């Protein structure tokens, strides 16, 4: 099988820890080049990982390299223009979240990818976690009965420098903690629930740091048209001594918890633990999910499977994000579907 020629743009932690090592461990791809505006990072990565070539400008890499696919691991501001540039040059793209800073740009990307018959996949690694897929199957089979409430959260522990400078600028990040950390939590819930229609949203956001333009913390209430309510709390810097990432699902016959996975059902008048397997460490779960995500992208590009993390799915999530920020601005609940 001919190797896929892949490039990576963006030399931050997600590229260094996840994308580059995983690609280099595969025998069916060739990581031909890396690109970043920081030439020191480019030099360090090409030397450390023995990558053939490095670039400071994406246009140069696209012109010089005969790429089949591009992994976009830059700051959020560049996701849309770089994806659009790659697709226009007939290159498949794997885009780290968010796919764009707003719904309109995400729609443009989706239309371009379809017109070019190219793969545009959004990096939502939760969709490839074993525990999430197991939970999704439990819920699809109505093992928990009728779901009525989900609570989910991602709270980062207190630290002096919780974010990079660009994350505090609305024009570069699109928003604050909600688009950064809330978006993957929203996507996880939508994925597990098999993409329900959303009735309404309400967002309470908090600007605790006057030196940045976006919210540090936020609390969202989301209701589906079939009367499931889920809440999402996020914070870049909560006054706690450890990070907290959780998702709890409650039905009228049982409940389920993530991180770690635990499933409980009411059986014969008792609450019984029916968790199907024991998990490994958080790091193992995290790395395996990314390995499966990148493997899936490659198989989609080769035409072996259907894309399980489409731009259309990202559009649905971005519409919720846009409505949540509208709610925060107006101070009111936003109705999406009567």
The strand ranges marked E within the chain are 4-9, 29-35, 53-55, 69-72, 92-96, 120-123, 147-157, 198-206, 217-224, 229-238, 244-251, 254-258, 262-267, 270-273, 334-335
Residue pair 297/290 in contact by the 8 Å Cβ criterion? no
> How does DSSP assign 103-137, residue by residue?
HHHHHHHHHHHHHHT--EEEE-GGGG-HHHHHHHH
The residue among 76, 92, 122 that closes a domain is 122
Query: Cα–Cα distance between 79 and 97 in angstroms, integer?
Result: 8
Residues 178 and 112 in one domain: no
Residues 169 and 84 in one domain: no
Q: How far is CA 72 from CA 138, 231, 306, in A?
A: 33, 30, 20
Closest CA to 7 of 53, 76, 56: 53
Q: What are 58-88's pLDDT values in tens digits? A: 999 999 999 999 999 999 999 999 999 999 9
Let me know if residue 310 belongs to a domain: no
The pTM assigned to this predicted structure is 0.95
The residue among 62, 88, 122 that closes a domain is 122
**What pLDDT does 278 receive?**
64
Domain that holds residue 36: 4-122
Residue 289 predicted with pLDDT over 90: yes
Residues 193 and 268 in one domain: yes
Q: What are 233-279's pLDDT values in tens digits? A: 999 999 999 999 999 999 999 999 998 899 999 999 999 999 987 66
Q: What are 89-118's pLDDT values in tens digits? A: 999 999 999 999 999 999 999 999 999 999
Residue pair 335/199 in contact by the 8 Å Cβ criterion? yes
Residues 95 and 217 in one domain: no
Query: Cα–Cα distance between 97 and 317 in angstroms, integer?
Result: 11
Q: How far is CA 143 from CA 45, 217, 246, 273, 278, in A?
A: 47, 34, 20, 12, 19
**What pLDDT does 338 receive?**
73
Residues 326 and 179 in one domain: yes
**In this structure, are strands 53-55 and 120-123 parallel, antiparallel, or unpaired?**
unpaired
Q: What are 300-334's pLDDT values in tens digits? A: 999 999 999 999 999 999 999 999 999 999 999 99
CATH number of the CATH domain containing 239: 3.30.360.10
Residue pair 275/261 in contact by the 8 Å Cβ criterion? yes
The residue among 96, 122, 148 that closes a domain is 122
Q: Which tokens go with 162?
A: 């919780």
Residues 78 and 170 in one domain: no
Residues 94 and 178 in one domain: no
Q: How many domains does the chain contain in total?
A: 2
Q: How far is CA 182 from CA 84, 313, 325, in A?
A: 25, 15, 12
């Amino acid at each position: 099988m001919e190797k896929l020629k892949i490039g990576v743009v963006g030399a931050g932690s997600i590229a260094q820890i996840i994308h580059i090592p995983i690609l280099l461990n595969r025998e069916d791809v060739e990581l031909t080049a890396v690109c970043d505006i920081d030439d020191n990072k480019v030099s360090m990565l090409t030397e450390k990982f023995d990558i053939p070539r490095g670039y400071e400008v994406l246009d140069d890499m696209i012109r010089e390299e005969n790429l089949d696919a591009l992994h976009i691991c830059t700051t959020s501001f560049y996701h849309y223009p770089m994806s659009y540039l790659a697709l226009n040059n007939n290159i498949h793209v794997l885009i780290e979240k968010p796919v764009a800073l707003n719904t309109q740009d995400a729609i443009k990307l989706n239309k371009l990818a379809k017109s070019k018959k190219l793969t545009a996949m959004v990096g939502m690694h939760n969709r490839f976690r074993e525990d999430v897929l197991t939970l999704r199957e439990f819920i699809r089979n109505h093992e928990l009965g009728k779901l009525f409430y989900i609570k989910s959260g991602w709270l980062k522990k207190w630290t002096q420098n919780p974010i990079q400078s660009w994350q505090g600028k609305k024009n570069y990040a699109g928003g604050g903690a909600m688009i950064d950390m809330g978006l993957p939590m929203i996507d996880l819930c939508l994925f597990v629930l098999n993409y329900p229609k959303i009735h309404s949203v309400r967002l309470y956001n908090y600007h605790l740091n006057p030196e940045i333009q976006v919210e540090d913390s936020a609390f969202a209430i989301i209701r589906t048209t079939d009367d499931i309510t889920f809440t999402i709390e996020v914070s870049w810097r909560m006054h706690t001594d450890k990070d907290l990432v959780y998702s709890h699902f409650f039905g009228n016959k049982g409940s389920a918890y993530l991180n770690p996975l635990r499933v409980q059902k009411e059986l014969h008048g008792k609450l019984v633990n029916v968790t199907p397997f024991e998990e490994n460490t958080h790091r193992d779960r995290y790395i395996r999910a990314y390995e499966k995500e990148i493997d899936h992208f490659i198989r989609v590009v080769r035409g072996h499977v259907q894309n399980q993390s489409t731009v259309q799915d990202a559009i649905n999530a971005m519409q919720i994000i846009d409505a949540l920020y509208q709610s925060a601005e107006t101070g009111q609940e936003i109705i999406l579907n009567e």
